[in-house]
Amino acid sequence: MIKAVIFDMDGVLIDSEHYWQQTERTLFRELGIELTDELLVQTRGLRTEEMVEHWGNRFDLGSVNPEELKQQYDRRMVETMQTEVQLMDGAREAIRFFVDREIPIALATCSSQAHIEATMEKHNLKEYFHLAVSADQMPGKPHPEVFLKTAALLKIDPTYCLVIEDSFVGLIAAKAARMKVVVMPDKTEYDQVRFGAADLKIKSLSELNEEAFEMLRKI
């Protein structure tokens, strides 16, 4: 049984991953640090402070204040979300699919409240979501707290929740919360065996149709 659906935001509802990486690359290039595509894989799915800490441990940031760096990064991404980031293919249809079936939907993301609000306002999504929860002040994924908190606010048992994620750490977090998981990995990671831990793997939200939903309900 599925009584609620919880969407991740970046890489699931909005096509933002390359903007996060582009901003990360630009920010550190300004400090004289070149982050290659291979290096950027290391911080995929991390929160801003985790990303800054990761590179701070690897490179000499000099006199740069990590908190100031975090704030710069977040400010640039809020502006980008307000102006450039678009919905993922099939996102609006997937939202409508669950709304039409009167299944509550929520957002659970490691992005900040400012990023959530920028996304909701740009794409007029707020009316469809019962709530949006940021893990900004919680342990980051793969810790399950953000999903457990979302289920508690919805007043729905976690085992009756379905999570839609794109990252492996998000998948593990949802499984740790005892929730069903649909994973939609980036195309560069789609064939990785580890994503087999999900209940369903898809390439696009357009695959969330009646047949897929019925299969998930029976698991």
Known catalytic residues? 8, 10
Separation between Cα atoms, residue 69 and residue 55, nearest integer Å: 11
Separation between Cα atoms, residue 176 and residue 180, nearest integer Å: 10
Report the candidate in 133, 129, 131, 132 with the shortest Cα–Cα distance to residue 96.
129
183-214 burial code (b ≥16 CB/10 A, e <16)? bbbeeeeeeeeebeebbbbbeebeebeeeebe
The shares of helix, strand and coil residues in the chain, as percent rounded to the nearest 5, are: 50, 10, 35
Cβ atoms of 31 and 61 closer than 8 Å? yes
- 201 forms beta bridges with 183
Report the candidate in 46, 3, 8 with the shortest Cα–Cα distance to residue 146.
8
